[in-house]
Structure 1
Amino acid sequence: MRIMGLAAVAAIALAAVSGAEAKDWTKVRMGTEGAYPPFNFTTADGTLTGFDVEIGNALCDELKLECTWVTQDWDGIIPGLIAGKYDTIIASMSITPERMEKIAFSAKYYNTPPAIAIRKGSELASATAEGLKGVRLGAQGSTTHSQFAEEVLSGSDVALYPTSEEYKLDLENGRVDAVVDDVMVLDQWVSSDQGSCCKILGTMEPVEAIHGKGAGIGVRKGNEELAAMFTKGISALRQNGKYKEINDKYFKFDVYGSE
């Protein structure tokens, strides 16, 4: 799950589309990043997929909504929502107090902890602040994980990257000693041929003030009725087995977290 800086949002908010647009929702534009596997990514043939996308599509089917997808770079994803480029964000976005000042959210649709990955053969032995002290640590910028690295793992030499793919490359090539991200993102990577260089060192306890209460579906202020629709839809998918079907396609355990 991730968080972004909100400096750019303040300026855009002045020119934003009004959130007070109560309506009978039948068509919804869904915003995502498309570069955060296994949650959202684009395949070689240009197909947008991933856990976020499949859950979003299942929710649209459940709620009988006609949905279309829009991709947006992570740093601009909240400004894009506020400016009316799309109606929702479903992109592994953590529900945090800072973000809730700008947009509204559904209930969570998953909640997983951060983890540390290292190269195989590394002498690092502990996924703790003390164990990572002095270590060159990579993270994707403008995320909960970069904030966690800078605030909780401040004894590390933190290097920030525009995308997760770039920090993975630098870990593989030895330009950083370790990286921090969502455990599921790192687990999928190290289990693949592309991540065969590396392994999970361990998970870390989330900090609610940083990581929030899970990933939710973001909407513009004033569209809380749309968020409530998705909250009901998430509950329905949990009950009818569709959530488990999608979950098991991507993960080895239930990523929803505690009920």
Structure 2
Amino acid sequence: MKKLLLTLVFLLTVVVLAACGGSDEEAGGDSGDNADAEESESSSGSEGKLAELQESGTVTVGFANEEPYGYQGDDGELKGAAVDIAKAVFEELGVENMDSQLQDYSQLIPGLNAGQYDVVTSGMAITPDRCENAIFAEPEMVYGEGLVVQAGNPLGIESYEDIANNPDVRVSVMSGATEVGYLETTGVSDDQVTTAPDIPATFSAVQSDRADVTTATEMTLKLAMETSDESQLEFVENFEQPDIEGVPSWGAPAFHPDNEDLRDAYNEALQGLKEDGTVEELLEANGFDPESNSVAAGEVTADSVCSGENY
């Protein structure tokens, strides 16, 4: 009987110790899993916007309907020099698809900051004011201004100063475009200027005699003229470029201020595409002069334009 009791006690002790050992091992396993989960969560949180886009394979792009920078073609697809450059850059970064969303020019940066887009690209001019609300990639292109008037140029408009000096001249400008500020700087009165959502609408204003002149970048107006009624409109060939800050303009994509990692990765890939000639090829394919409209790597930086040094 005594032997039986000793045997039972021994077996009970073994069972208890085994149970305790199992609990310790289990606790250790849970602790390791939690640590791994926390590390994974921390790692995921630090990866940033670029990793998020690479994982999804899609970047959401806001653009304004302004040919040849960014515009919607007849097939509904997003086209233009700025778009083609952005597509090439994002492919270098491992993001193959672009979800394009058409927007009024004046709503691009507000939409960017509201989280509607990952990037906006329409050859947008870098300006100190815009730099307060978005961060820009390095300039991809440089361009000047232009004018389109009623056929025959009945009011003899060849400069912004001509508009300012004649209070009867009516101007139609795309909403949110830098030209609104340029006109104001040269003395054009606010009551002379009306805005429209896109370039076709500004052309329509001149054609219907609701405006005498419209202004935009030279390339935009030249291309728009190719599909317009030249019996009603005329491109001002001898236009005098305004001698004001911001002309010429340096165009670049804009990113949310929180997405510096994405902007920096974009810049790195962009530099490679500038150096191997891809950017010049894409500009030329969209009607730009690769000699006068391209910006060599390091020639002008976004920071120098934002600070006013090259504005």
TM-score (norm 2): 0.68
Residue 120 of structure 1, aligned match among 147, 151, 167: 151
Name the structure with the higher strand share: 1
Give the equivalent residue in structure 1 for 2:10. Answer: none
The residue number in structure 2 matching 1:181 is 216
Contact kept, 8 Å, 1:110 with 1:215, in 2: the verdict is: yes
Task: Please report how far the alpha carbon of residue 65 of structure 1 lies from its aligned counterpart in structure 2 after TM superposition.
Answer: 2.4
Change (3 A) 1:24 1:167: closer
1:30–1:88: 8 Å Cα contact kept in structure 2?
Answer: yes
Query: SS of the counterpart of 1:204?
Result: coil
How many angstroms does 1:155 deviate by? 4.8
**Structure 2 match to 1:148:** 182
SS, match of residue 160 in structure 2: coil
Per the TM alignment, residue 252 of structure 1 is displaced from its structure 2 partner at its CA by 4.5
Residue in structure 2 matched with residue 36 of structure 1 by the alignment: 66
Quote the RMSD (CA, aligned, Å). Answer: 2.5
Q: 1:60 to 1:203 in 2, by over 3 A?
A: farther
Q: Secondary structure at the match of 1:115?
A: strand
Match of 1:59 among 85, 89, 92: 89
| Higher RCO (C-alpha 8 Å, min separation 6) | 1
* Distance change in 2, residues 1:98/1:166 (3 Å): same
- After superposition, give the CA deviation of every residue in 1:92-130 in whole Å (9 maximum; x if it has no partner): 222222221222111111121121111231134453233
The residue number in structure 2 matching 1:4 is none
CA contact (8 A) 2:68 2:287 kept: no
Name the larger-Rg structure: 2
Aligned pairs, number:
238
For 2:47 and 2:180, how far apart are their aligned partners in 1?
A: 34
1:256 equivalent among 294, 300, 303: 294
Supply the AA of the counterpart residue of 2:274.
R
The answer to whether structure 1 residue 171 and structure 2 residue 206 are counterparts is yes
Query: Letter of the aligned partner of 1:123 in structure 2?
Result: P
Q: Give the structure with the higher percent helix.
A: 2
Query: CA shift at 1:90, angstroms?
Result: 1.2
| Alignment-derived partner of residue 302 in structure 2 | none
- Give 5+ residue unaligned stretches, structure 1: 1-19
Deviation at 1:185, TM superposition (A): 0.3
- 1:205 is matched with which residue: 242, 248, 255? 242
Q: In the alignment, which of 228, 239, 246 is matched to residue 194 of structure 1?
A: 228
CA distance in 1, matches of 2:112, 2:159: 36
TM-score, L = length of structure 1:
0.81
Which residue type is aligned with residue 203 of structure 2? K
- 1:45 maps onto 2:45 in alignment: no
Q: How does 1:82-121 map to 2 (within 5 A)?
A: 82-121=113-152
SS in 2 for 1:237: helix
Percent identity among equivalent residues? 21
Deviation at 1:62, TM superposition (A): 2.6
Structure 2 residue runs of 5 or longer lacking an equivalent are 1-45, 300-311
Q: CA 1:22/1:64 → structure 2, altered by over 3 Å: closer, same or farther? A: closer
Structure 2 CA distance for aligned equivalents of residues 76 and 120 of structure 1:
32
